[in-house]
Amino acid sequence: MDNSFSDKKLFRIQLFAVAAGLLVLTAKFAAYFLTHSNTILSDALESIVNVLAGSFALFSLYVSALPKDKDHPYGHGKVEFVSAGVEGILIIVAGGGIIVKAIAAFFHPVPLENLNVGLIIITVSGIINFLIGFFLERSGKKHGSVVLIADGKHLMSDAYSSLGILVGVGLIILTGWSVLDNVVAIIIGLIILVTGIRLVRKSVAGIMDEADEKVIEEVIKLLNEHRQPQWIDVHNLRIIQYGSKLHVDCHATLPWYYTLEEAHKETDAMAQLISDKYSSQVEFFIHTDPCIPASCKLCSIADCKVRQEKFVERIEWNIENVLRNKRHGS
């Protein structure tokens, strides 16, 4: 897939999400002014965060798509983790603001009005947010975009919050207990806080190049399934994500008598396997090591004319032995 086309597609998807978020924001504040409900206000405040975070995500998608330059030799993809972190912080601020406002309302209550109308508006807004969030998260996973996944999760959490708000407002209508408005708002605020903290945690992990064990295990499984006899071992594997792009480093032990052209052909085959698996751009740095006598007992090449030891066993590659910076059998 042409990466420039993919980047433009991601940008258009996020632009659509921001435009839809503005409409939902307007509807939720209309519901608040009609009802004076803190529960509904909590939903409206989170929509402000949705639009601000979505706008920053839109900018970060533009920056991450910029080509590599001398100051950013690995590209600009890390900005997507910054975007996810900013979104997480904004969510935390919104959650805290909702809780403070709800607590204050215990001491300064405001009469509630038009709750039935507010209920309809929040229902429609919640459905829209869920559908957009689901679409963003699915698109983000398909294209390997941290920004779209983060914004999708955020919108879906907002939709779940709306569900809780529907229950809360429904109970207020049925019971007439207006104090429930503040209680539900505090609960929603706490849920929003947890969502924000998780996003910040993911952002910091990405900026610090924390290993994604799921991706590493997928790559190892893929290499195992398509393993060739001449691929004696793979070790010192490292995978780093820069936005929607993956950088894969590893050492591959090949027969010492291979020509440079033959060795290059084998590393290209490994790289192609992983590129075909992930739709995101994948960049490889594969260092080839020549086999040593200790490698013979692990090497299954049947017609090797320079074998010094008998073949004993094939070691199954796993996350423990592939991550080590040491040739297998040595």
**Per residue in 200-222, pLDDT tens?**
887 776 665 555 677 888 888 98
Which residue type occupies 103? Answer: I
Average pLDDT over residues 28-56: 80
Whole-angstrom Cα distance, residue 329 to residue 303? 20
Distances 93 to 20, 46, 84, 99, 193 between C-alpha atoms, Å: 22, 9, 14, 10, 8
Q: How far apart are CA 14 and CA 206, in angstroms?
A: 21
Closest CA to 64 of 128, 129, 148, 175: 148
Average pLDDT over residues 66-85: 67
pLDDT of residue 278: 72
12 or 263: which leads in pLDDT: 263
Check residue 6 and give its pLDDT: 61
- By CB atoms closer than 10 A (0-12, 13-18, 19+), residue 134 is middle
Burial 146-173 (b: 16+ CB within 10 A, else e): bbbbbbbbbbbbbbbbbebbbebbeebe
Q: What is residue 1's predicted lDDT score, i.e. its pLDDT?
A: 44
Q: What's the pLDDT at 228?
A: 92
Q: Judge contact between 235 and 220, C-beta under 8 A.
A: no
**What token pair was written down for 136?**
């963003």
The structural domains of the chain, ordered by start, are 3-207 (1.20.1510.10), 213-323 (3.30.70.1350)
Helix (H) or strand (E) holding 102: helix 79-107
Give the length of the chain. Answer: 330
Phi, psi (degrees; rounded to nearest 5) at 6:
-60, -45
pLDDT at 281: 66
Q: Residues 126-175: pLDDT tens digits? A: 888 889 889 888 888 777 676 777 778 778 877 877 777 777 777 877 88
Confidence of residue 253 (pLDDT cuts 50, 70, 90): very high
pLDDT classification of 257: cutoffs 50, 70, 90: very high
Higher pLDDT, 108 or 308: 308
Instruction: Tell me the per-residue pLDDT of 262-316, one tens digit each, with 9 for 90 and over.
Output: 999 999 998 888 888 775 567 788 899 999 988 999 898 988 889 988 888 888 8
Residues 151, 222, 264: CA angle, nearest 5 degrees: 110
Q: Residue 330 has what pLDDT? A: 67
